[in-house]
Amino acid sequence: MLTALRNLPLSVRLPLLGAAMVVLVGAVASQQVLLALGRVQDARLRELAALHVEGLSVALGPLVLRRDIWEIYDTLQRAAQASQGRRVVLTAVAGEDGRVLAATDPRRVPVDSAIRQLAEEAVPLEQLSAGVSETIVRVVAPLSYQGRDVGRIVTELDVSDLQAERRRALWFLLAGNALATGVLAGLGYLGMRRMLRPVSTLARHMTGVEGKPEPIDAAEMPQGEGELARLARIYNDMVAEMAEKSQIERRLAERERLVALGRLSSSLAHEINNPLGGLLNAADTLRSYPDRPGVVRQSAELLERGLRHLRDVTRVTLEQNRLERVDMPLVAEDLEDIRLLIAPEMRRRDQRLRWSVARDALAEAHLPAAPIRQIMLNLLLNASTAAGKGGQIGFRARAEKGLLRLEFLDDGPGMSEAARVRLLSDAALPAGGGVGLRLVRDLLEELGGGVALAREDGMTRISVTLEAGRKDADA
Amino acid sequence: MGVRPETWFSRTIFTYGHRNVVRAVADGLVQSGSVDGYVWEALSVVEPQLTQNTRVIGKSEWLGFPPVCARKDAAGDRAVQALRAALTGLPGSEAGRAALAALQLDGFGGAAMISSTYGDLFAGIAARMRLLGQ
């Protein structure tokens, strides 16, 4: 029950709490009114009983002393007839010996019977109360005459009207309070809901339509300068800042991609430039010896090889930058393309590459080609930078328990702290660090992949694991 | 009988009036009471709700109604004679008959007339007074 309450939204819980408070206050107020009514009734009843007893004491004193039974009886009868509202049901008077002298109903309380039987269930005047279950209460009082007790008076009072009044008051209070608390609680509920509407609006916008925070529209913004209005404004500012930040991150990722591309293109320029000298030589030879078929064929073959190489290099470069690739699945050719792409960079640094792709590595993997190509390119370029001149680089791809595992190795000095932060955490970007490592992390997050860093036998190893077919449905 | 009221009854009380005796018995304050038969009969007509709660358990012999008396030496006074004439003459007028009806009496008569018609009505009372005197 409590847990269920705790799970209710604040905009329901607070109004409910308010309503409950009103009901509680109503109940306490009713209780107080009933108590006060009871006190007033009891005081009235005691006053009445005291007047009755005192009046009888004055009238009966001498008669009791004289033991004049008839006069006592006659006086009691007259007093009973005059009794207001027939409240006095029975009065019995006893002398000092505790024997009844007379009672208004002699058949019930015969003359000379012991008053004790009657007095046993009676209460003294000061304890008299109408708040009992019986409709008739019995009170006993001493009969005082000229300063001394000459006997006792027992009186039965009918309090059913007082009890009925109490019940009536109780019902009126219950009905009135139920109505009043109902109305107040309802108004309070509505009022609080209205006051808390900005909170509901805020909560709704915080989760948004797709689970992302959305700014609150101007129409729904709370008015005035209250804390809720300020809260909403601060929230909107925060959402705007978050949007700006993610835009900056996107731009940064794009820049990192371009940096990688820039480096590649300079390598590619070398790659194209290097064979150009040979190709131009071949063209010169063709022009010089057009009549020597052996030389022409040889030069033509040389030209063709060089041009084919240039075509391949151009093709993979174009491929890498074609946006349509996003929807294409990863195939073995993609891995070969990357190998071709980084080859010039590595040759430039005089590095050796150990390339190992298991035959069935991609058999089960239904993964998008573009992001994985980007990841491979960035990590291999990074390994190349780390390994330095004449270093060693390794790449391994294999399937492992439904996962595609890609490993990138280099014999460089190990990753700097800045590079580590970029690759392994979402913390703010420190200055410096590896090439496009944060982009690798972002891409892996989108793919739902994992990354681990290890150092063994003088080699740095970055392991990327991708759940095979995870993106298949989306692709 | 050799029995006295003070020992025969557990308690005896005075009510200072014949009507009060009937009330005391009717209300249950006492179990029994002795009352003038004329008063009980008159009440049974005027206040039947009082007498209907009582039961007559014993009657005395007929005794004379309390007489209207005057001193012998003043018997010839005009005022006494006028009162006598008025009482004996009650049945002769409308107002007199209404007064007699209210008292539930037939009429008043002279001592000589009463004795010659009903005999000695007060002999029984005289006998009781003699008993008390012993």
**A23: domain CATH number?**
3.30.450.20
Look at residues A141, A170, A199 and tell me which one is the last residue of a structural domain.
Answer: A170
Length of chain A: 475
Please answer whether residues A130 and A145 qualify as being in contact, where contact means their C-beta atoms are separated by less than 8 angstroms.
no
A274 and A410 inside one domain: yes
B86 and B126 inside one domain: yes
Residue of B nearest to A67 (CA): B13
Residue B59 maps to a domain: no
- Measure CB to CB from residue A70 to each of B10, B20, B28 and give the nearest one: B20
- Rounded CA gap, A76 and A109, in Å? 13
Nearest C-alpha of chain A: how many angstroms from B101? 30
Answer yes or no: do B29 and A74 touch at CB < 8 A.
no
Long-range contacts of A84-90 (CB under 8 A, 24+ apart): A84/A48, A85/A161, A86/A158, A87/A48, A87/A157, A87/A158, A87/A159, A87/A161, A88/A52, A88/A155, A88/A156, A88/A157, A88/A158, A89/A136, A89/A156, A89/A157, A89/A158, A90/A154, A90/A155, A90/A156
Q: Is B24 on the interface with A (CB under 8 A)?
A: yes
> Among candidates A403, A402, A408, A401, which has minimal Cα distance to A356?
A408
> Among candidates B24, A7, A164, which has minimal Cα distance to A16?
A7
Interstrand relation of A123-124 and A136-145 (parallel, antiparallel or unpaired)? parallel
Residue B76 maps to a domain: yes
Answer yes or no: do A106 and B28 touch at CB < 8 A.
yes
- Measure CB to CB from residue B16 to each of A70, A106, A112 and give the nearest one: A70
Residue B39 maps to a domain: yes
A431 and A289 inside one domain: yes
Backbone angles phi, psi at A466, to 5 degrees: -125, 135
- Structure token digits, residue B69: 């008396």
Angle at which helices A69-82 and A10-66 cross, to 10°? 150
Q: List the domain range (segments joined by +) for residue A450.
A: 248-467
C-alpha A138, offset from chain centre: 64
Q: Is A70 on the interface with B (CB under 8 A)?
A: yes
As for how many domains chain B has, the answer is: 2
Residue B62 maps to a domain: no
Nearest C-alpha of chain B: how many angstroms from A147? 28
**Can you give the pLDDT of all 134 residues of chain B as single tens digits?**
677 777 888 888 889 999 999 999 998 999 999 999 999 999 998 889 989 999 999 998 888 888 898 998 988 899 999 999 999 999 999 999 999 998 888 889 888 888 888 888 888 888 888 988 76
Residue A237 maps to a domain: no
Answer yes or no: do B27 and A70 touch at CB < 8 A.
no
As for how many domains chain A has, the answer is: 2
Look at residues A120, A137, A170 and tell me which one is the last residue of a structural domain.
Answer: A170
Residue A154 maps to a domain: yes
- Rounded CA gap, A282 and A49, in Å? 140
Residue A228 maps to a domain: no
Which DSSP helix (H) or strand (E) runs through B114? helix B111-118
Answer yes or no: do B13 and A70 touch at CB < 8 A.
yes
A155 and A277 inside one domain: no
Query: Which residues in chain A have Cβ-Cβ distances shorter than 8 Å to B29?
Result: 69-70, 73, 102, 106, 111
Backbone angles phi, psi at A153, to 5 degrees: -120, 130
Residue B56 maps to a domain: no
Q: Is A81 on the interface with B (CB under 8 A)?
A: no
- Rounded CA gap, B20 and B24, in Å? 6
End-to-end CA distance of chain A: 46
B41 and B84 inside one domain: no
Residue of B nearest to A112 (CA): B11
Residue B63 maps to a domain: no
Q: What is the gyration radius of the CA atoms in chain A, in angstroms?
A: 52
B119 and B76 inside one domain: yes
- Rounded CA gap, A316 and A242, in Å? 37
Q: Please report the pLDDT score of residue A187 as a whole number.
A: 84
- Rounded CA gap, A145 and A66, in Å? 12
Burial of A310 from C-beta contacts in 10 A (0-12 / 13-18 / 19+): middle
Q: Is B22 on the interface with A (CB under 8 A)?
A: no
Q: Is A74 on the interface with B (CB under 8 A)?
A: yes
- Rounded CA gap, A129 and A138, in Å? 10
Query: Going edge to edge, which strands form the sheet with A88-95?
Result: A100-103, A88-95, A148-158, A136-145, A123-124
Q: Is B15 on the interface with A (CB under 8 A)?
A: yes
Residue A225 maps to a domain: no
Look at residues A145, A170, A195 and tell me which one is the last residue of a structural domain.
Answer: A170
Q: Please report the pLDDT score of residue A469 as a whole number.
A: 66
Residue of B nearest to A109 (CA): B29
Beta bridge partners of A329: A368
Q: Please report the pLDDT score of residue A475 as a whole number.
A: 36
| A residues 93-122 lying closer than 8 A (beta carbon) to B | 102, 105-107, 110-112
Q: Please report the pLDDT score of residue A84 as a whole number.
A: 59
Backbone angles phi, psi at A145, to 5 degrees: -140, 125
- Secondary structure class of B65 (helix, strand, coil): coil
A260 and A150 inside one domain: no
Residue B94 maps to a domain: yes
Residue A240 maps to a domain: no
Q: Please report the pLDDT score of residue A313 as a whole number.
A: 75
Residue of B nearest to A70 (CA): B15
Q: Please report the pLDDT score of residue A321 as a whole number.
A: 66
Beta bridge partners of A123: A139
pLDDT digits (tens, 9 = 90+) for A167-185: 888 888 888 888 887 888 7
The domain that contains A439 carries what CATH number?
3.30.565.10
Residue B29 maps to a domain: yes
Residue A317 maps to a domain: yes
Q: List the domain range (segments joined by +) for residue B38.
A: 5-51
Interface test with A, best of B9, B10, B11, B13 (most A CBs within 10 A): B13
- Rounded CA gap, A200 and A341, in Å? 54
A140 and A257 inside one domain: no
Q: Is A80 on the interface with B (CB under 8 A)?
A: no
Q: Please report the pLDDT score of residue A67 as a whole number.
A: 87
Beta bridge partners of A408: A395, A462
C-alpha A369, offset from chain centre: 39
Residue A288 maps to a domain: yes
- Rounded CA gap, B84 and A33, in Å? 77
pLDDT averaged per 10 residues in sequence order, chain A, 475 residues: 72 77 83 87 86 85 88 88 74 88 88 86 82 82 86 87 84 84 80 79 80 80 80 88 86 77 70 75 85 86 83 75 65 84 82 88 79 85 88 91 89 84 73 65 85 89 82 42
ipTM passes above 0.85 = no
Q: Please report the pLDDT score of residue A472 as a whole number.
A: 45
Identity at B114, one-letter amino acid code: I
Answer yes or no: do B11 and A73 touch at CB < 8 A.
no
Query: Which residues in chain A have Cβ-Cβ distances shorter than 8 Å to B13?
Result: 68-70
Q: Please report the pLDDT score of residue B22 as a whole number.
A: 93
Residue A243 maps to a domain: no
| A residues 377-396 lying closer than 8 A (beta carbon) to B | none
Residue A12's alpha-carbon distances to A5, A15, A180, A186, A189, in angstroms, are 9, 6, 21, 12, 8
Q: Write out chain A in H/E/C secondary structure.
A: CHHHHHHCCHHHHHHHHHHHHHHHHHHHHHHHHHHHHHHHHHHHHHHHHHHHHHHHHHHHHHHHHHCCHHHHHHHHHHHHHHCHHHCEEEEEEEECCCEEEEECCCCCCCCCCECHHHHCCCEEHHHCCCCCCCCEEEEEEEEEECCEEEEEEEEEEECHHHHHHHHHHHHHHHHHHHHHHHHHHHHHHHHHHHHHHHHHHHHHHHHCCCCCCCCCCHHHCCCCCCHHHHHHHHHHHHHHHHHHHHHHHHHHHHHHHHHHHHHHHHHHHHHHHHHHHHHHHHHHHHHHCCCCHHHHHHHHHHHHHHHHHHHHHHHHHHHHHCHHHHHCECCHHHHHHHHHHHHHHHHHHCCEEEEEECCCCCCCCCCEHHHHHHHHHHHHHHHHHHHCCCCEEEEEEEEECCEEEEEEEECCCCCCHHHHHHHHCCCCCCCCCCCCHHHHHHHHHHHCCEEEEEEECCEEEEEEEEECCCCCCCC
Q: Please report the pLDDT score of residue B100 as a whole number.
A: 92
Please answer whether residues A59 and A47 qualify as being in contact, where contact means their C-beta atoms are separated by less than 8 angstroms.
no
